[in-house]
Structure 1
Amino acid sequence: MVPQLPGKRPASKSEPDAESRAVGKFLRRMLPLLVLMLVVNQMDRTNVGFVQADLKADIGVSATAYGLGAGLFFIGYALFEVPSNMLMERYGARVWLTRIMITWGTVIVAMSFIHNVTVFYILRFLLGVAEAGFFPGVLLYFTKWLPDSSRGRASAIFLGGSATAYIVTGPITGALLEMHGVAGIAGWRWMFGLEGVFSIVVGIVAGFFLVSRIQDARWLTQEEKDALSAAVARDEQARDRAPKVSKLKLLVHPQVALLTGVFFAMALTGYAITFWLPSLVAEIGGLSPFQIGLLSAIPWICAVIAMYTVSHFADGAPDRRPYLVAALLLSAVGAFLATLGSPWFGLLAITLAAIGGKCAATVFWPMAQAGLDFKIAAAGLAIVNSLGNLGGFVSPTLFGYLKDTTGSTNGGLYSLATASVLAAGAVFLIRRGGGSAGSGEPLPAQGTAGAAQGETTPPRIA
């Protein structure tokens, strides 16, 4: 038996090592703030869905103009996402994520002064420019702080904030709209103004708490800093040795094209529900803005519960494709049924569509990761994400045009149902990606930094 030295205590096998302690401190100190920032981010990009009728009444924004304005956000976002990430590499998370949040909060405040359709278009586009790079920027931040083995957990917690945002946006926004007439100001102007100011305040607070570099963290011991820095450096060296992949070749890669088409259909449904759900709920009649907000949260509450339930079963399945097909068909059925019956029945139908959409996203990203060859996985997923998210521009624009030309959103709902059915038919052409092949973590629907988990290394894009 080895004698215990004075002043020393034997190391316990259950005691976490320096790297694990450092990771735990990061998750406890940084992640709650990042999740709050994401909740505010999702709220500010989708709150316009609750004021469609007000914008039409006060400044003459037609359904077509509203749909186009809602979709213009995604054009600005797509154009500036990559430059934003490059600038974050240069300035660090503390400066750049703070800048992003304060800027988008300023644009939201400016939206409270909208006085015509042109200004509405400009500010929605600028909101996309301002927000560009936030979501993938946070995921990139994880790569600077966490080794590959710990990033999946952090990403899953962070993504939970997105699900939370869908639930809380309705009640919070609805409550602010109840301020209509206070100081002679319209409720929608109060809503934009106060939510924008809150975003700015959170951004300023984040500037005091975010830490860009491991070595700058005062709440880590030097031993923890060194251990975590070494682990992250090893992963970075492995990524630098990864092969480059041509974007042009990936654009015509059959599997990448199929995945892009399926994700585009999913984005069509997801963003159509996001931007048009409040107006569909309002058709029930006799509801206050707060009540509309509460009812608008119901589909997302049900969807989040279903999402985590389905992921539990799908992650262990040898083939995820049947789960994705079922989710897409449920989304199609929900969209079709929303064209029938009363507004209350329509809310139930939209709930089914939301459940299908969220469950599809949960199954899709791990399946996509497992179904692509390793040498093209990270780059291919980046293209799938970028092109597929253009559904966020197409669906609200299409809904608005059909609403003005036909007087109903039924045409848009039929289009969503058709797109989901076609996507379901294409799923079985995608290479099988089962639970054992993937990471087991749902990948983000926006941005792919840190997408490839585990011991392998994602390739770089040429």
Structure 2
Amino acid sequence: MNNLEVTTLTKVTSRLVPFLIVCYFIAYLDRVNVGFAALTMNQDLGLSQTAYGFGAGIFFLAYFLFEVPSNLMLERFGARKWIARIMLSWGLLSGLMAFIPDIGRATGLGSENTFYLIRVLLGVAEAGFFPGIIFYLTLWFPAEYRARIVGYFMAAIPLSTVIGAPISGYLLGLHGLGSLAGWQWLFVIEALPAIVLSVVVFFYLTDRPADAHWLEASERDWLAERLRLEQKQREAVREYTVGQALINPRVIGLSLVYFGAVATNYGLGFFLPQIVKAFGLTTFMTTVVSALPYAVGTVAMVWWGRRSDRKTERRFHTAIPLFLAAAGIALSTVLDDPTLKMLAFCLAGFGIFSCLPVFWTLPTAFLSGAAAACGIAVINSIGNLAGFAGPFAMGWIKDHTGSYTGGLLLLAGLGVIAMGIVLSLSHDDALERAPAPVAK
């Protein structure tokens, strides 16, 4: 590694990654804060566990439908404009969640149908944000750095719970302030940062290295050439069109892997606060204890991604965490002691989150350009259907059995299937190694 490489990538990392972490932190918090709101919202709105699980998950059906078009729009118009649009629209809609009773009365839809409608619109608004950022990072970072960079970025997922959980717990305590319930304050206050950041994104992000006037000319030239050679190296093996990426067997296989990973994440995440609440804790302590698996996941995500880059190995670094996620979730069903149950969930948290940054190196190792934008969106959209199926199945099984055990075992089974699929897929590690040295 030469000095120019170190200097350039240090500048790019410090300029882009912390800011993107903040954006994704807000995005993810606005996506899953319904899990904390449910501690008091469900009773206020008269939602059953099945209705809540359906509403929490229906977000992902809309997300699925609009994911690929949104990512292709980002590739066409640039990240700066498109991500700003996404953040503004989802911030406004997330804030509307606070006014479900009023909207339901005014429209005659009722609270339950209004809950479903706003979750659908929120899915439409946010579609393309995550895969857009994953694609955006491929425009700035060479392949051998991507697991750690994606790990830093995706650490916003568990961090949104570690930090957001106690904040959400505090906001739920604002019940009765003014004319709003605590869960309504939660949605209003947590929506504001997305609206503010949408303006910042428009002026702060840079679409491509060629536009990065905050880099020296030699740094821009080195980075552009390194990424060009990597793209040439991938295309020498196979150059994919957008249409070919849509139906590529490896893309479909990776979509199924991601389906299992997402199922373990959202299926557990949307219901963990309610599982923990049954320990007999206060609402605030429930949010704090629920954050523990996410604290473990934050550390695991960063460490495991760096380890994968250092070893230049991807398949087993994806499969092993999927096994740990499944094992932790399954183990939690046979443990009654709250402390032991939380240790099992922490093991699951390690597996759920450490697999994610490594997983996203798999498609970007063989796809590039518009095909990469399309392939990443396909994988993310199909995978995120589990964000609908997991919570809905969890809610339905709980309503019909009175227990979360069946739902948790279903999630564990999906994690094991995902592990098997990723081990069966081919992956050429050589495509992620540095190409011929770039002239200084």
Q: Is the 8 A contact 2:87 2:194 kept in 1?
A: yes
Work out which of the residue numbers 408, 429, 436 in structure 2 matches 1:438: 429
Match of 1:243 in 2: 239
Quick check: 224-233 or 94-103, which moved more? 224-233
- The question of 1:33 aligning with 2:19 is answered yes
Counterpart CA distance in 2 for 1:427 and 1:90 is: 33
Q: Does 1:93 align with 2:79?
A: yes
In structure 1, what is the Cα distance between the partners aligned to 2:259 and 2:315? 19
Letter in 1 for 2:125: A
> Mean alpha-carbon deviation: is it higher for 111-120 or for 213-222?
213-222
- Go from structure 1 to structure 2 and tell me whether the alpha carbon gap of 1:246 and 1:39 turns closer, same or farther (over 3 Å shift): closer
SS in 2 for 1:51: helix
Instruction: Work out which of the two has the higher radius of gyration on C-alpha atoms and give 1 or 2.
Output: 1
Ranges in structure 2 where 5+ consecutive residues have no aligned partner: 102-110, 436-440
Please, what is the CA RMSD of the aligned residues?
Answer: 3.7
User: Secondary structure of the equivalent of 2:58?
Assistant: helix
Distance (whole Å) between structure 1 residues aligned to residue 378 and residue 208 of structure 2: 29
Structure 1: 5+ residue runs without aligned partners? 1-12, 440-451, 457-462
Distance 1:63 1:321 in 2: 36
The 2-side partners of 1:423 and 1:136 are apart by 20
Contact 2:151 2:357 in 1 (8 A): no
Q: Which of residues 290, 298, 303 is equivalent to 1:296?
A: 290
Q: Which string of whole-angstrom CA distances, capped at 9 and with x for unpartnered residues, describes residues 245-295 of structure 1?
A: 686898584x66655444322322111111111111111224133x22211
Percent identity reads 36
Q: Deviations over 1:410-450 (max 9, x none)?
A: 221232233344555x35961576xxx538xxxxxxxxxxx
Task: Pick 1 or 2: higher relative contact order, CA cutoff 8 A, min separation 6.
Answer: 2
The one-letter code sitting in structure 2 at the alignment partner of 1:301 is A
The answer to whether the Cα contact below 8 Å between 2:49 and 2:395 also exists between their aligned partners in 1 is yes
Q: Out of 117, 126, 129, which is 1:134 matched to?
A: 129
1:415 to 410, 413, 416: 410
Question: Which of 57, 73, 78 is the aligned partner of 2:59?
Answer: 73
State the distance in 1 between where 2:157 and 2:39 align.
26
Matched residue type, 2:429: G
The residue that corresponds to 1:350 in the other structure is: 345
Matched, 1:173 2:168: yes
Counterpart CA distance in 1 for 2:307 and 2:8 is 32
CA distance in 2, matches of 1:339, 1:235: 48
Which amino acid letter does the alignment assign opposite residue 74 of structure 1?
F
8 Å Cα contact 1:329/1:421 also seen in 2: no
* Cα gap change, 1:33 to 1:186, in 2 (>3 Å): same
Q: Distance in 2 between matches of 1:209 and 1:323?
A: 33
The answer to whether the 8 A contact 2:53-2:391 is kept is yes
Change over 3 Å in CA distance of 1:133–1:67 after alignment to 2: same
The count of aligned residue pairs is: 421
Q: 1:298 to 1:383 in 2, by over 3 A?
A: same
Quick one: distance in 2 between partners of 1:409 and 1:398?
10
Q: Is the partner of 2:100 in helix, strand or coil? A: coil
- SS of structure 1 residue aligned to 2:388: helix
Q: TM-score, normalised by structure 2?
A: 0.81
- Is the CA contact (8 Å cut-off) linking 1:335 and 1:350 kept in structure 2? no
2:68 and 2:381 in contact (8 A); partners too: no
Tell me how far apart the structure 1 counterparts of residues 358 and 224 of structure 2 sit (CA, whole Å): 33
Amino acid at match of 1:24: T
SS in 2 for 1:184: coil
Q: What is the aligned partner in structure 2 of residue 400 from structure 1?
A: 395
Please state if 1:274 is matched with 2:269.
Answer: yes
Aligned: 1:51 with 2:47: no
Residues 149-176 of structure 1, C-alpha deviation per residue, up to 9 Å, x if partnerless?
6656543432333343342221222222
Residues 252, 327 of structure 1: alpha-carbon distance in 2 compared, 3 angstrom cutoff? closer
User: Does residue 331 of structure 1 match 2:323?
Assistant: no
Once the two structures are superposed, the pairs formed by residues 348-387 of structure 1 within 5 Å of their partners are 348-361=343-356, 364=359, 383-387=378-382
If the length of structure 1 is used for normalisation, what is the TM-score?
A: 0.77
**What secondary structure is seen at the aligned counterpart in 2 of 1:183?**
coil
**Structure with greater proportional helix content:** 2
Give how far 1:63 is off: 0.8
